[in-house]
Every structure is written in structure tokens, then in C-alpha cells.
């Protein structure tokens, strides 16, 4: 085999989650108008204020231009051809316990490695499973309730805790924020809601598993996490979708609120269907994620492993309002074949003595394009704020691209900001060295890449670090590993 052939083999990518589940669903006709929004709201038994909020967002969205500043290569999205709501019929009857959940759905999650059944549940992890537009099951609800933690589908929280929704929804990401946030605010269907009361350390990892199943559907979920004073929560989301030749839109909004001395750790393992080797199909993953460190000494960290989606467009940020608050962003983004990832973070320092850390590792292979876009801003009030950013790109093969666009805006002389970045390729010398020690080129590439990403993997909850490592290997090298 020539070097090139070996390299190609090493990078060949089989997407293991591309199956489709056959379930009967209640699905809206494609298209978007006020009626669709009213129908979604009605389905969810939403209070009036929420419907009005959705409609305002919709009106705002109608007057917004689609963003194109990231210069991503995106096929024109026809918003009238998207299905905005689909739920498996079995869920419409509101199963009261896991035993009533359609076995076909349970099987789907089992196949994805997320068993929901009581006897096989992931130890120490509570899971909310979102299938197309609705949550189908949430595990360990009782155990969490004992600790005072609310972990439930968003649509359930809207009914059971409208006061919390009213207070916090849109408080971090207003519907005016950007085109996709406005769209999401108008049509979001489900997602997860987490509330950690004062002084509570959430007794287990919380996790939401998103699955897109129905063709043509757009998934618009909304996640809201509120951590009251002195509380702690660690949350993880995972995402997969069937292989389809047309693109599908996923436009989520995630809002995090950390009050005094609270800590939220949010991790994402994003493995949406990336499209075929030729760049056909795949998910358009346009997500707005932002946390606000509202209270003093609060802390929010974003960790993301991005290996999926045809196009990813997301910049999880932290607004550091509270004094002594701390924001972190750790990211590994891998693009192979024709994937494009435009990701990074915004750290907005407003409080005194605030601190942020950004570590980003981008890997581009095949014809992949990987872009880091970062913003670090210190307002005049952010006295003694500190930022450290490190942002490295690794190139594999000669058809890929890696871009780095950091933006540093400092309006405060006591701020200290340091930014380091590098772009380099997997060197022939490194490959040869590993091969001389008996490893195949696939193994060598995988080893070098995992070394490159190590500092980010260390930030993942232990249970998922291994999974992330595997995911990277699969994305890079087919079955070897």
C-alpha cells in the first residue's frame, strides 16, 4: 500500500449510529407559520406567556437575515420544507414509567449504548432521552427528587415550574441574539431542564441523549440549567442521527445560570451524522450555548468533543458577571471528509478578578475545514481579570484547512490576557518513529492525535473520557483501535 492509501484508510470513517428506528409518529406537515407555533405550544399545554414569547421571537426572526459571516459552505436551507414537530405516537399517551415506554425506543437507545431500562441503567448517570421533538424517558428521577434536584423534560418543567421558566428562559440567550436562537425560541419542542437547589451537590451525573430520527425534521431543543447558591452539577449531552442523503437542521439553545459559588460543568459529545465521505447529507448543527456566572465565585465550564455533523456552528460562551467567577472552555473538534466546524468561545469578563481558560484542539483531515473563532473581552469594570487561551490545530493530509480567528478586546489595564496558538501537521518523522516500533500507520495517527487532545480529554467526566477517545478513533480510522 502506498503511504497515501494507508493514510486514506486510516481516515476512512464508518458512522456506527446511522440506523433508523421504525416507529409510528405524529408528525406535523412541513412548514412554519404562527399556527405551527400555536400548535406546538398547545401540544405542550404551555402557559400563555410562553406562547406570546414564542410568537415575539417568530416575528423577530422573520426580519432577520440568515448569517453568512462565517463563510461556511452551506446549502440553502428552505425553512418551509422543515418539519417542526414529530413525536412517537407511544409518547403522546404519556407513559408513566419506563415500563410503558415503547420497546422499540428503548431498543434504539440500547443500540446507541444508552440503556434506559431500570435494570441496565448507566450506573451513576441519570439520562433524559430526547427523540425528535420530545423526551421519551428520564431515568433516576426519584432519586434526584430526593436530593431536591429537578431533572425533567423541558416541556414538563413548563407545566410544573412555570415560575422558574418565566424567570430564566431567554435571560442568558435572548431570542434577539441571533438568527438560529430566534428560530429556536419560536419553535423549540423539548429539551432538558435542570434545577439544583441551594447548597446541593447533585448526587449523580446528569445526561441528555438527543436522537434525530424522522426524515426532514429539524430538532430544536432547549436546555436550561439553573444552579442556585453553593450547588454543583455535572451534565453531559450526546447526539446521534440516522444516515440520510439530505441535510437536517439542528438548532439548539442552551442556557446556564450559576448563582453564588455554584458550579456547572457542561460536557458535549457531539456525534451527529457527519454526512457521507463525498459530503452528502449530514446534520447542520447550529447551536447557541451560553452560561452566565451570575453570582460571585461561580464557575462554568464547557467541554466539547465535536466529531459529528456536516457543519457545526457554535461558540459556547461564558458571561463572567460575578466577582471572582471562572469560565472554562475545553474543545476537541475533528473534521474529516467534507465536514466543516466553526467553533470556539466567547469569554466576556465583567466582574472583578474573573478568570477564564480556553483550550482548543482542532484536527482537520480529508477535506475538512476546522475553524476556531474566539472572543475574549474585558470591560472597564473587569478589574484584575485574567485569561489564558491555547489553541492548536493539527493537519492530516493536504486537502484540509485550519483557521484560527481570535479576537481580544481589552478595555481595562489591569487585565492580563495571554493567547498562544499553533498550526502544524502530523509529521512524517513522528509517523515513521511509531511505525519503526511496530505500529501501523492507523495506530500511529490515532496515538499522535490522542496525545494532541490529551489536555482536553482530562477535563471530561471519567465515564466519558474513554468514550470520547473511542469516538475520535472511530472518526479517524474505521474499525482499528
Partner 1 sequence: MLKIKDLRVSAENKDILKGLSLDVKPGEVHAIMGPNGSGKSTLSNVLAGKYGYDVSHGSACFNGEDLLDMAPEDRARKGLFLAFQYPVVIPGLNNLYFLRQAINSIRLSKNEKILDAGQCLLLAKKYLAELDLDDSFLSRNLHEGFSGGEKKRNEMLQMMMLEPQLAILDETDSGLDVDALKTVAGVVNKMRSADRSFLIITHYQRLLDYIKPDHVHILSDGKIIKSGGPELALHVESSGYVGLGES
Partner 2 sequence: MSLSMDYFKKYYEFAAEKSVGDLKQIRAKFYDRFLAHGLPNRKSESWRYAKINSWFENSYACPSVERGLSDFHDESFMNEVDILVCDGVVNIVNTDIDVVVMDLKQALQTYPEKVMSHLTKSYNYNNTGNPFADLAAAAWSSGVFIDVPPGYTLVKPLKIVHVFTSEVFLNSYNIFNLGVGAKATIVEYFTGNEDISYAHNFTTSINLEAGAVLTNEKLQNSSPFAVVQDYRIITQKNSSEYVQRQYGFGAKVARDETLVNFIGDGAKNSFSGLSFAASCSWHSSHVKILHNSSNCHSDQKFHSLVSDRGESSFLGHIFVPKTIAATLAYQDSKSLLLGPLSRSNVKPYLEIFADDVVCTHSASVGQLDKGALFYLRARGMTESEAYSILLSSFASELIKDCQSDFLRLKAAEKVKKLSSLIFIEDGV
Binding residues (CB under 8 A) for partner 2: these are: 380, 393, 395-425
Q: How far apart (Å, rounded) are the C-alpha atoms in residues 392 and 190?
A: 35
Which grid coordinates are listed for 444?
500511529
Which grid coordinates are listed for 408?
481580544
| Partner whose binding site includes residue 435, from partner 2, partner 1, none (CB under 5 to 8 Å by kind) | partner 1
| Partner whose binding site includes residue 205, from partner 1, partner 2, none (CB under 5 to 8 Å by kind) | none
Sequence-distant (≥ 6) Cβ neighbours of residue 173 within 8 angstroms: 181, 253, 254, 255, 288, 290
When binding is defined by CB under 8 A, the residue of 104, 143, 432, 479 that contacts partner 1 is 432
CB of 358 to partner 1, least distance (A): 17
DSSP 3-state helix, strand, coil percentages of the chain (rounded to 5)?
25, 35, 40
CB of 391 to partner 2, least distance (A): 9
| Partner whose binding site includes residue 352, from partner 2, partner 1, none (CB under 5 to 8 Å by kind) | none
Characterize 349-379 residue by residue with b for buried, 16 or more Cβ atoms within 10 angstroms of its Cβ, and e for exposed: bbbbbbbbbbbbbbbbbbbbbbbbbbbbbbb
CB nearer partner 2, residue 135 or residue 336: 336
Task: Please tell me what DSSP assigns to residue 99.
Answer: G
CB of 448 to partner 2, least distance (A): 14
| Partner whose binding site includes residue 103, from partner 1, partner 2, none (CB under 5 to 8 Å by kind) | none
When binding is defined by CB under 8 A, the residue of 156, 190, 230, 443 that contacts partner 1 is 443
Q: How far apart (Å, rounded) are the C-alpha atoms in residues 307 and 269?
A: 8
When binding is defined by CB under 8 A, the residue of 1, 29, 123, 462 that contacts partner 1 is 1
Q: Do 327 and 294 form a contact (C-beta atoms < 8 A)? A: no
When binding is defined by CB under 8 A, the residue of 128, 205, 323, 441 that contacts partner 1 is 441
Residue 445 CB-density burial (10 A; 0-12 exposed, 13-18 middle, 19+ buried): buried
436 contributes a contact to partner 1 by CB under 8 A: yes
| Integer CA distances (angstroms), 142 to 97, 126, 138, 152, in order | 11, 10, 10, 11
CB nearer partner 2, residue 307 or residue 404: 404
330 contributes a contact to partner 1 by CB under 8 A: no
| Partner whose binding site includes residue 45, from partner 1, partner 2, none (CB under 5 to 8 Å by kind) | none
Q: How far apart (Å, rounded) are the C-alpha atoms in residues 304 and 269?
A: 6
When binding is defined by CB under 8 A, the residue of 48, 63, 65, 438 that contacts partner 1 is 438
CB of 405 to partner 1, least distance (A): 23
When binding is defined by CB under 8 A, the residue of 382, 453, 474, 476 that contacts partner 1 is 453
CB of 31 to partner 2, least distance (A): 32
When binding is defined by CB under 8 A, the residue of 198, 412, 430, 465 that contacts partner 1 is 430
8 contributes a contact to partner 1 by CB under 8 A: no
Q: What are 153's strand-pairing partners?
A: 192
| Partner whose binding site includes residue 400, from partner 1, partner 2, none (CB under 5 to 8 Å by kind) | partner 2
CB nearer partner 1, residue 6 or residue 243: 6
CB of 394 to partner 1, least distance (A): 10
Measure the N-to-C terminal CA separation of the chain; round to a whole number of Å: 20
379 contributes a contact to partner 1 by CB under 8 A: no
H or E element in which residue 85 lies: none
CB of 289 to partner 2, least distance (A): 23
Which of 302, 249, 254, 237 has its CA nearest to residue 273? 249
CB nearer partner 1, residue 7 or residue 262: 7
480 contributes a contact to partner 1 by CB under 8 A: no
Q: Do 294 and 321 form a contact (C-beta atoms < 8 A)? A: yes
Spell out the alpha helix ranges (H) of 63-200.
Answer: 89-92, 103-111, 141-146, 154-160, 162-168, 179-187
The C-alpha R_g of the chain, in whole angstroms, comes to 22
Residue 227 CB-density burial (10 A; 0-12 exposed, 13-18 middle, 19+ buried): buried
| Partner whose binding site includes residue 403, from partner 1, partner 2, none (CB under 5 to 8 Å by kind) | partner 2
CB of 91 to partner 1, least distance (A): 44
Residue found by looking up cell 417568530 in the block: 58
CB nearer partner 2, residue 3 or residue 420: 420
Which residues would be at the binding site for partner 1 (CB under 8 A)?
1, 3, 6, 427-430, 432-441, 443, 447-448, 450-455
Amino acid at each position: 500500500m502506498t503511504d497515501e492509501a494507508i493514510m486514506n484508510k486510516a481516515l476512512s470513517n464508518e458512522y456506527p449510529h446511522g440506523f433508523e428506528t421504525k416507529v409510528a409518529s405524529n408528525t406535523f406537515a412541513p412548514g412554519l407559520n404562527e399556527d405551527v407555533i400555536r400548535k406546538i405550544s398547545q401540544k405542550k399545554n404551555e402557559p400563555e406567556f410562553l406562547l406570546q414569547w414564542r410568537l415575539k421571537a417568530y416575528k423577530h426572526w422573520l426580519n432577520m437575515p440568515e448569517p453568512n459571516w462565517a463563510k461556511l459552505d452551506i446549502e440553502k436551507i428552505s425553512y418551509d420544507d422543515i418539519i417542526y414537530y414529530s413525536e412517537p405516537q407511544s409518547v403522546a399517551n404519556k407513559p408513566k414509567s419506563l415500563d410503558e415506554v415503547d420497546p422499540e425506543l428503548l431498543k434504539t437507545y440500547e443500540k446507541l449504548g444508552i440503556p434506559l431500562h431500570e435494570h441496565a441503567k448507566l450506573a451513576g448517570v441519570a439520562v433524559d432521552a430526547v427523540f425528535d421533538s420530545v423526551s421519551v424517558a428520564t431515568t433516576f428521577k426519584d432519586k434526584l427528587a430526593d436530593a431536591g434536584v429537578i431533572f425533567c423534560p423541558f416541556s414538563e418543567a413548563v407545566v410544573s415550574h412555570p415560575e422558574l421558566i418565566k424567570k430564566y428562559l431567554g435571560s442568558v440567550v435572548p431570542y434577539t441574539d441571533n438568527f438560529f436562537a430566534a428560530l429556536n425560541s419560536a419553535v423549540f419542542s423539548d429539551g432538558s431542564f435542570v434545577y439544583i437547589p441551594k447548597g446541593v451537590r447533585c448526587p449523580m451525573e446528569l445526561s441528555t441523549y438527543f436522537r434525530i430520527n424522522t426524515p426532514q425534521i429539524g430538532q430544536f431543543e432547549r436546555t436550561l440549567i439553573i444552579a442556585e447558591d453553593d450547588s454543583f452539577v455535572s451534565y453531559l449531552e450526546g447526539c446521534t442521527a440516522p444516515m440520510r442523503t439530505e441535510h437536517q437542521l439542528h438548532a439548539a439553545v442552551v442556557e446556564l445560570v450559576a448563582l453564588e459559588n455554584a458550579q456547572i460543568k457542561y460536557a458535549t459529545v457531539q456525534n451527529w451524522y457527519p454526512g457521507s465521505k463525498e459530503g452528502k447529507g449530514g446534520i447542520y448543527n447550529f447551536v447557541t450555548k451560553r452560561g452566565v456566572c451570575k453570582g460571585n465565585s461561580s464557575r462554568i465550564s464547557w467541554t466539547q468533543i465535536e466529531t459529528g455533523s456536516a457543519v457545526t456552528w457554535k461558540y459556547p460562551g461564558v458571561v463572567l458577571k460575578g466577582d471572582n467567577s471562572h469560565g472554562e472552555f475545553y474543545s476537541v473538534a475533528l473534521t474529516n471528509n467534507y465536514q466543516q466546524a466553526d467553533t470556539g468561545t466567547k469569554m466576556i469578563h465583567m466582574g472583578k478578578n474573573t478568570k477564564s481558560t480556553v483550550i482548543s484542539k482542532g484536527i482537520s483531515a480529508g477535506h475538512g475545514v476546522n475553524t476556531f473563532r474566539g472572543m475574549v473581552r474585558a470591560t472597564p469594570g473587569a478589574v484584575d481579570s485574567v485569561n489564558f487561551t491555547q489553541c492548536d490545530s493539527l493537519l492530516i493530509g493536504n486537502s484540509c484547512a485550519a483557521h484560527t480567528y481570535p479576537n481580544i478586546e481589552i478595555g481595562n489595564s489591569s487585565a492580563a490576557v495571554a493567547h498562544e496558538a499553533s498550526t502544524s501537521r502530523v509529521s512524517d518523522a513522528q509517523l515513521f518513529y511509531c511505525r519503526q516500533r511496530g505500529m501501523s500507520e492507523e495506530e500511529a495517527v490515532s496515538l499522535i492525535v490522542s496525545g494532541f487532545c490529551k489536555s482536553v480529554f482530562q477535563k471530561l467526566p471519567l465515564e466519558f473520557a474513554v468514550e470520547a477517545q473511542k469516538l475520535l478513533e472511530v472518526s479517524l480510522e474505521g474499525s482499528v483501535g
